[in-house]
Amino acid sequence: MYLLTAQIFLGIYLLSQGLHGVPPAHFALALLAAVGYMLANGMVRKPGNERNALLISGISTVMILAAFALGLHAAGMI
């Protein structure tokens, strides 16, 4: 979560510097995944929500992988 947060802040900084080479979906997926991880972290603290927390964590992980693929594509690496 800390690494994801650092990457989001780096992305905000780069966008503020005028580097707009990444599609908006890349940034949106990263933000949604961060929210998903925070939601899952809160849910797992209450008994009976473990399954839903795991599902949300899995979906958030897929969103991170999709954002990573979009970033690689935008950088011309794939």
Provide CB contacts within 8 A for 64, sequence distance 6+.
4, 29, 30, 33
Chain-centroid distance, C-alpha 61:
8
**Cβ atoms < 10 Å from Cβ of 19:** 10
Range of the domain at 6: 2-74
Residue 20: the pLDDT is 67
Number of domains in the chain: 1
70 neighbors 23 (Cβ within 8 angstroms): yes
Q: Quick one: angle between helices 24-43 and 50-74, nearest 10?
A: 160
2-50 tens-digit pLDDT: 887 888 888 788 778 776 677 889 889 988 999 999 999 999 998 899 9
